[in-house]
Chain A
Amino acid sequence: MRKIRVLAAKPGLDGHDRGVKVIAAALRDAGMEVIYTGLRQTPEQIVNTAMQEDVDVIALSILSGAHDYLFPEVMKLVKEKGLDDVLVLGGGVIPESDVPAMKQVGVADIFGPGTATGKIVEYIEQNVKRK
C-alpha cells in the first residue's frame, strides 16, 4: 500500500513554523511521507506543489490571523484544479468562531493550540479520501 502523502504548508507572511514542523515530524514518524513548503507561500504555490507532489493531504498552518483570507483562497484553487479528493486541514491560532466559515469553504477540520499530534495522525488516517 502506498504511504499517505502530506503537504505541510505555510500560506502568507507568517513566520511561526514551530507547530508545522512538529506536526510534520509527527506525521513522518507515523509512517506518512511529508513535504514541507517552507515559509511565505502564496495559495497558487501551495496548490501547484500539491499537484506536482501528488499529495493526499494539505495541512495549512497560520498563526497571524490571515486564515480568514488565505484559507478560502487556497480552497478556491483546490476546487479549480480538481483536487476535490485531497483532504485539507487547518491549524494555528484560529478562533473557534471562525471554524464554521473555514469548514464551509471546504477545510475538513481545524486543529487549534494544544492539539495532540496523535489526534491529527488518527484524523488523517480515518478521513483521507484517496486510497
Chain B
Amino acid sequence: MSSFAEQLASWQARLDKSLAKHPERKKEFSTISGLPVERLYLPASPDQAYAGNLGLPGEFPYTRGVQPTMYRGRLWTMRQYAGFATAAESNRRYRYLLEQGQTGLSVAFDLPTQIGYDADHQLAQGEVGKVGVSISSLKDMETLFAGIPLDKVSTSMTINAPAAVLLAMYIAVAEGQGVKAEALRGTIQNDILKEYSSRGTYIFPPKPSMRIITNIFAYCAAEVPQWNTISISGYHIREAGSTAVQEVAFTLANGMAYVQAAIKAGLKVDDFGPRLSFFFNAHSDFLEEVAKYRAARRLWARIMRERFGAQDPRSLMVRFHTQTAGCSLTAQQPKNNIVRVAFQAMSAVLGGTQSLHTNSMDEALALPTQEAVTIALRTQQIIGYETGVTDTVDPLAGAYYIEHLTDEIEKRAGEYIERIDQMGGAVEAVEQGFIQREIQEAAYEYQKAVESGARVVVGVNQFVTQEPPPQDILRVDPKVRLEQMEALKKLRAQRDGQAVQKGLAALKAAAQGEDNLMPHILSCVKAYATLGEICDTLRGVFGEYQAPTTI
C-alpha cells in the first residue's frame, strides 16, 4: 500500500493535468482581507485513519467531495423546482429563471401526471395544474420546452411511476429540435421505493416497477448516456418525518435494491452505476446536515465497492441534489423562512452538493410567488459568490464535532441497513411497513418535542406574534383543467388513431413478455398516445399497488 504522501503526489499530478485543460474559476483565491486561500487543507501529518476515512477529494471514499477542486472549479447547479398550471405558463417561468441566472431546469408535474392520469380523468378533478404542470401528451411537452434548447440546459424531472413515459416525451421533443438523445443531460427521479414509503405517487406494484426502472437503466446506458437514470431520494423520507440517520439509511438501502435488481436483470454494475444520482434534504440542524452528506458519500462508496464490486470511480460516487426542508418552513412569520433556507442551503454547500433548490418563504402557505422564488435563488447566489465558503474544498473537515458526527451517522445508518438486509432488503422492508413505521414514529416524536417546547420553532412555539395572513399568494385557476380537457379532445380527434392503437398493442405485448419497454413507450409517445393511455395499458398488465395503511 502506498503511503499518503505518494497518494497525494499522484493526486496532484493528475490534477495539474486536468487543470491545464479546465482551469479553476480564478487564478488565485483569497479572503476579503487578502489572505491567500489554498485548494485543500490537510492535517499536519495525515495518518492511516485519515487516509482511510477522509482521503483526498475526488477519491475513495469521497468523504471530502466527489471532485478534486469542488467549487473552485465550478459552483453547484442552481436548480429551482418549478412548474404549475399549463405548459405555456410553466414555460414562461422557466425562461424567466434562466434569464435570472439559473443554470438548470427542474420540472414539477401535477399529481394526475405523476400518477399517470390524463387531465380529463375523473380522479384529476381539482388537481390539474395545482402542484406542478399538467402533461397529458407529447403536445404539452413540446409547449413546455418551446424555445429552450435541450442541448444547452440540463433538466431534472420529478417523475417516478411514469418516468419512462416522460423521459420518452423529452427524447421526442429533443428530436423535434434536432438534438440527439446522446446529447441530452438531466435526471428523472424514477425512485419508486420511496414513493411507497414516503411520497405516495406510486402506480404499479414493486416487482413490475423495478422492471421498468431496470429497463430505463439499460436503455439509457445505450442511447442516452449522459442522463441520470435515477435520483435516489432521501428528501421525501426526511420530509415525511425521518431523522438524518434514517434519511441516509433508507435512501442507501433503496439504492442497494435498485443495484441488486439491475444486476439480477443482467446489467453490469459499472455500466449503470455511474448514472445513479441522489437527492437529499437540507434540514435545520446545521452541522448534523453537513456531516450527513459526508457520511452518505463514504458509506455508499464502501457499499458499492465492497458489496457490489464496482470499480469505475463514478459508480462509487454519491453525486447529489439537495433541497432545503419544506417541512421546516412555518406559515407563521413567513419571512423568517428566508433565514432558515439560507442556513440549510449553506449546510448543503459545506456538505458538497452538486445542485441545489432553495425553498421559497411562502411555501407553507401556497405555491411560491415570483418574488419569493427570486429571493430563494438570490440566496444561493449570495452563498456562491459572496461568502467565500466555495474557495476551498470541504472547509469543515477536521473539525472534531463534524468528524464525530460523520462517523456516528455512518455507523448508525450502517446498523439500519443491516436490519433491512435481514428482512430481505428495502422492497421487503417497505412491503412489511417497517420503513413507514420507523418514519412516522420519528415524525410523532418530533411533533411532541415541538409541542412540549423541548424543541424551539421560532414564531410557532416561542417568539409568537399576531399578524395578518399574507394576501399575495399564487393561485391556479380551475379553468386550467377545462382548457386541458378541451386540448385533449382536439388531440384525440386529430391524431392517427390507428397508429396509437398499434403502438399500445405492441406495448402491451412487450409488458407481458420480457422486452425492454422503453422503445415501445417511445413509439407510443411519438404517435401522440396520451400518458393516461400508456399507463392504463401497463395497469392492465401489471395491476396497481395496494398500500398497507400504518398508523
Contact = CB atoms under 8 A, between A and B. Distances in A.
B265 to A, nearest CB: 28
B331 A18 contact: no
Given A12-B111, A38-B547, A64 B440 contact: no
Given A65-B366, A113-B330, A114-B330, A97 B199 contact: no
B273 interface: no
B121 to A, nearest CB: 10
Contacts of B330: 113-114
A123 interface: no
Interface string B109-152: 00110110100000111110011000000000000000000000
A37 to B, nearest CB: 7
Given A16-B200, A73-B126, A118-B451, 12 more contacts: A12-B123, A13-B112, A13-B114, A21-B443, A22-B241, A22-B443, A24-B551, A40-B115, A40-B200, A68-B478, A93-B364, A116-B451
A36 B551 contact: yes
A16 B440 CA distance: 12
A17 interface: yes
A37 B420 CA distance: 27
A37 B200 contact: no
Contacts of A24: 551
A66 interface: yes
Contacts of B365: 93, 95
Interface in A6-35: 8, 12-18, 21-22, 24-26, 28, 34
Most B CB atoms within 10 A — which of A18, A93, A112, A118? A18
A25 B439 CA distance: 13
Contacts of B332: 114
Interface residues of B, number: 44
B471 A42 contact: no
A18 B239 contact: yes
Interface of B: 111-112, 114-115, 117, 123-127, 130-131, 195, 199-201, 239-241, 327, 329-332, 364-367, 440, 443-444, 447, 451, 457, 460-461, 469, 471, 473, 476, 478, 547, 549, 551
Nearest to B195: A15
Contacts of A26: 444, 447
A17 B201 CA distance: 12
A72 B340 CA distance: 35
Most B CB atoms within 10 A — which of A69, A95, A118? A95
Interface of A: 8, 12-18, 21-22, 24-26, 28, 34, 36-40, 42, 64-66, 68-70, 73, 93, 95-97, 112-114, 116-118
Contacts of A73: 126
Contacts of B114: 13
B111 A13 contact: yes
A113 B130 CA distance: 19
Contacts of B471: 97
A16 to B, nearest CB: 7
A26 to B, nearest CB: 7
Contacts of B199: 15
Contact of A17 (B200, B331, B451): B200
A52 to B, nearest CB: 15
